[in-house]
C-alpha cells in the first residue's frame, strides 16, 4: 500500500479512537483560557509549500513574544503546560495527515524564518512530507528546557539545535523503512507517557554520531 494512503487511513483511525480524549482536551482549553481551541501556525512543508499546522492552543491570546518557546514562558496557560509536557497539543496534526500535508513519521516541519532554501540539507529534507514525529523530536523532546539554559535562545536554536536536528533527519531519511517508522512511533509514545524519565541514549533512534 502507498505510504500516504496508509498514513491517511491510520490518521483517520487515530482521530476516531481518540475522539473522546480530543473532546476532553478541547473542553479543558476553553475552561482554562477561553476560545479558540486550536492554534494554526504556518510551517514549511514538502517542496517548500506552506501549510497551517494544527495544535491545541497552549498559549494566552494576544500576547506577543519570540517564535521560540522556552520552559517557563509566561505565555503558556495552565492547561497548556500539561498538554505540552505530554505532547497532547500535537494530536490535531492527525488532521494534517488526513489532508495530505503531513505524514505520521517524517522530519518535523519548521517555521519559515528558520528554513534556508539555499541550504542543501534543507533541499534534501523538503523532498519529503513532514511528520508528526521524527528521531530528532525524540532526541530533543526536552528542547524547551534546553533552550531555557541559553541567554539567547533563538541564536542557540539556529546555530546548535537546528543543525543537529537536520543531520538527524537526514540520517533517518537515508534508512527510512516501515519498521523504522514503527520504532519511531513506539518511542514517541513512550516519551510522551513518561516524559523526562527515559535517558536519551535509550530512546533516540539515531544519535549525533549516526548523523555524522
Residues forming a β-bridge with 41: 53
- Interhelix angle 3-33/78-85, rounded to 10 degrees, is 150
- Average pLDDT estimate for 156-173: 96
**Mean pLDDT, to the nearest integer, of 17-36?**
97
At residue 62 the predicted structure's pLDDT band, cuts being 50, 70 and 90, is confident
Determine the pLDDT at residue 202.
Answer: 41
pLDDT at 71: 85
Q: Can you tell me the distance from the alpha carbon of 201 to that of 183, in angstroms, rounded to the nearest whole number?
A: 15
Buried-exposed string 175-185: b where 16+ CB fall within 10 A, e elsewhere: eeeeeebeebb
Share of the chain above pLDDT 90, in %: 81
Nearest to 172 by CA among 123, 144, 119, 208: 208
pLDDT, tens only, 77-88:
999 999 999 999
pLDDT band at 201 (very low <50, low <70, confident <90, very high): very low
Looking at every residue in the chain, the average pLDDT score rounds to: 91
- Asked whether the whole model's pTM tops 0.85, one would answer yes
112: its cell numbers: 519559515
Distances (CA, A) of 81 to 11, 26, 141: 25, 14, 14
205 band by pLDDT with thresholds 50, 70 and 90: low
DSSP state of 108: P
HEC readout, 109-172: CECHHHCCCCCHHHHHHCCCCCEEECHHHHHCCCHHHHHHCCCCHHHHHHHHHHHHHHHHHHHH
DSSP state of 48: G
Residue 149 corresponds to which cell in the numbers above?
A: 539554559
3-state secondary structure of 104: strand
- Cα separation, 109 vs 183, in Å, equals 20
167, burial (CB in 10 Å: exposed 0-12, middle 13-18, buried 19+): middle
DSSP helix/strand/coil, 115: coil
Band of pLDDT at residue 209, cut at 50, 70 and 90:
low
Report the range of poorest mean pLDDT among 51-65, 97-111, 150-164: 51-65
Tens of pLDDT, residues 167-176: 999 999 999 9
The continuous run of DSSP H or E covering 73 comes out as none
Q: What's the pLDDT score for residue 210?
A: 53
Amino acid at each position: 500500500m502507498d505510504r500516504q494512503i496508509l498514513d491517511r487511513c491510520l490518521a483517520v483511525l487515530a482521530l476516531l479512537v481518540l475522539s473522546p480524549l480530543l473532546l476532553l482536551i478541547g473542553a479543558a482549553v476553553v475552561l482554562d483560557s477561553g476560545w479558540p481551541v486550536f492554534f494554526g501556525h504556518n510551517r514549511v512543508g514538502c517542496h517548500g509549500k506552506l501549510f497551517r499546522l494544527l495544535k491545541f492552543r497552549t498559549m494566552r491570546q494576544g500576547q506577543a513574544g519570540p517564535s521560540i518557546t522556552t520552559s517557563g514562558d509566561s505565555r503558556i496557560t495552565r492547561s497548556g503546560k500539561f498538554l505540552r509536557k505530554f505532547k497532547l497539543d500535537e494530536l490535531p496534526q492527525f488532521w494534517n495527515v488526513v489532508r495530505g500535508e503531513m505524514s505520521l513519521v517524517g522530519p518535523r516541519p519548521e517555521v519559515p524564518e528558520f528554513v534556508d532554501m539555499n541550504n542543501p540539507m534543507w533541499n534534501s529534507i523538503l523532498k519529503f512530507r513532514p511528520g508528526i514525529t521524527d528521531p530528532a523530536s525524540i532526541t530533543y523532546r526536552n528542547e524547551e528546557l534546553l533552550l531555557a539554559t541559553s541567554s539567547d535562545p533563538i541564536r542557540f536554536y539556529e546555530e546548535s539545535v537546528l543543525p543537529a536536528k537536520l543531520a538527524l533527519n537526514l540520517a533517518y531519511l537515508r534508512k527510512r523503512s516501515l519498521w523504522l517508522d514503527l520504532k519511531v512511533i513506539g518511542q514517541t509514545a513512550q516519551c510522551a507517557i513518561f516524559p523526562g524519565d527515559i535517558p536519551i541514549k535509550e530512546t533516540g533512534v539515531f544519535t549525533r554520531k549516526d548523523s555524522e
